[in-house]
Structure 1
């Protein structure tokens, strides 16, 4: 346990460094925005392309794992929305709270952290979770909120969702990487060196950007924020463990990656959705901050448990 905690410290140390740089004003919000853009469009995409180019579609097609993760997310989604409605929250607020409970920071934190701590065999499950988060739940959120506001689904919505997915560089990096793998050709040495060099920047830059983006966040409505953080850091991995190990019989190694990924703190892109739809952005912002801080203690515990599988 102590060994795992010490291994995670450098990752969270980089987040802390970014937080300090942002909090003191040395790294202003504009700099954070451009660093995030660099990671999102270049460094992380290069890393994901490299991972996917060494896999096959068969590696990602794990129906039991996908079903277990979807079941756990759906169960928690419904629970969080039900509790929000009991507090008489608006549909948009209930929806974004549910989104907070299931969308972890798999891209910026999970990819570097889990691949290092759980090994290269964890890559297919990490990419599977990224795919589910970016395509299934982002689409679900958009469809429900559109229905609630317009009373119907616009015929152009499927095209808009498809365009949104196609514009996401992480999704496209995985798709293009799998397409390259399907050709059976080896990656040219120069191209591989380029991708390795660019992808190596993803881990430090992504973690620093996470910290810097948290610098201007404040904690409001502590009771709700604490509940949402508990849902993300505790209930999500617990339900994923139940679904993977009991209901769907996922192999222990894949189940361990699913559980560890479910234990990650709330992703920053949830705040972008909340802000865009004016669905409790301050609450989401505070939940990202609190869940990230608390995850320093909880993530090593979960990873230590799943490595015992």
Structure 2
């Protein structure tokens, strides 16, 4: 138990420090946003390049891991659509945004820092593969479904095309492509750029956690409690459960990658979830789900680590 707390407690302490910094106005919301931009634009891309470029491509592109992660994420999306469409009677846009919260993880800001402490450098590979699934499959698909429902289904192709256009300018996607090319070409980075990448990547985890705490301050939790809890349960329980089943079926995944993947799947939804839901008037529910799920993840991830350690 103490070993698990040694992993999770520092993580959530840094989140708490970010929350307190925002609560007592040590850093403004704009400054927090600036720190988040630094992580997304510089630190995390450096981390992804380092994780991919320093490993052979056969080790990076683990097909069994990717298949299991894709199927688990799509399974959560499908369950969310059924629950919110059939049981709650919501429209496609509402259901798709709820389902996206169940099937996409905050891999970079929460999943990776915990996985790094649990399994070491291989957490970087799991992060890159998870981001490929989230950014190239889950987010475009969920947003295309939501937009189709919002516009009567008339412009799904346009939405998908525009989403991929934006993703092509995303620093994290560019980092995945760059790291993949370096890995395939077996290029050995010179000392200076390698050191620069290492320094930036080291800043990724603590700054990301600090930003999460700052974002949580001021987020209101109100209304639709039952639906919010269902989104949270889908994210924290169903997602890792489906992934564990996928790993059992596709047995050729090494234990460290399995652990990292389960931690990623057990992380709460991404911090931009309320922003993505804003276009459809769902930012309140999305923000409340983000707060509750992030707080609950301290317990669920700790229980997961206890189970793995034993």
With normalisation by structure 2, the TM-score equals 0.92
More off after superposition, 40-49 vs 176-185: 176-185
TM superposition shift of 1:252 = 4.9
More off after superposition, 171-180 vs 92-101: 171-180
Q: Any conservation in 2 of the 1:73–1:102 contact (CA below 8 Å)?
A: yes
Q: Secondary structure at the match of 1:240?
A: helix
| Gapped regions of structure 1 (runs ≥ 5) | none
Find out whether 1:139 has 2:140 as its counterpart: yes
What are the equivalent positions in structure 2 for 1:12-51 lying under 5 Å apart? 12-51=12-51
TM superposition shift of 1:140 = 0.4
Partner Cα separation in structure 1 for residue 239 and residue 153 of structure 2: 31
Among 265, 269, 291, the residue aligned to 2:268: 265
Q: Secondary structure at the match of 2:247?
A: helix
TM superposition shift of 1:16 = 0.5
Find out whether 1:68 has 2:68 as its counterpart: yes
TM superposition shift of 1:96 = 0.8
Q: Any conservation in 2 of the 1:96–1:279 contact (CA below 8 Å)?
A: no
Partner Cα separation in structure 1 for residue 124 and residue 111 of structure 2: 10
Q: 1:197 to 1:257 in 2, by over 3 A?
A: closer
Among 257, 280, 283, the residue aligned to 2:282: 280
Partner Cα separation in structure 2 for residue 155 and residue 77 of structure 1: 19
Q: May I ask how many residue pairs the two structures share in their alignment?
A: 306
What are the equivalent positions in structure 2 for 1:79-158 lying under 5 Å apart? 79-85=79-85, 86-148=87-149, 149-153=151-155, 156-157=158-159
RMSD over equivalenced CA pairs, Å: 1.9
TM superposition shift of 1:68 = 1.7
| Gapped regions of structure 2 (runs ≥ 5) | none
More off after superposition, 296-305 vs 212-221: 296-305
Find out whether 1:232 has 2:235 as its counterpart: yes
CA shift digits 1:135-179 (9 cap, x unpaired): 101110232223221533466555423321211111111211221
With normalisation by structure 1, the TM-score equals 0.92
More off after superposition, 201-210 vs 221-230: 221-230
TM superposition shift of 1:107 = 1.3
Q: Any conservation in 1 of the 2:219–2:288 contact (CA below 8 Å)?
A: yes
Partner Cα separation in structure 1 for residue 153 and residue 122 of structure 2: 45
Counterpart in 1 of 2:213?
Answer: 211
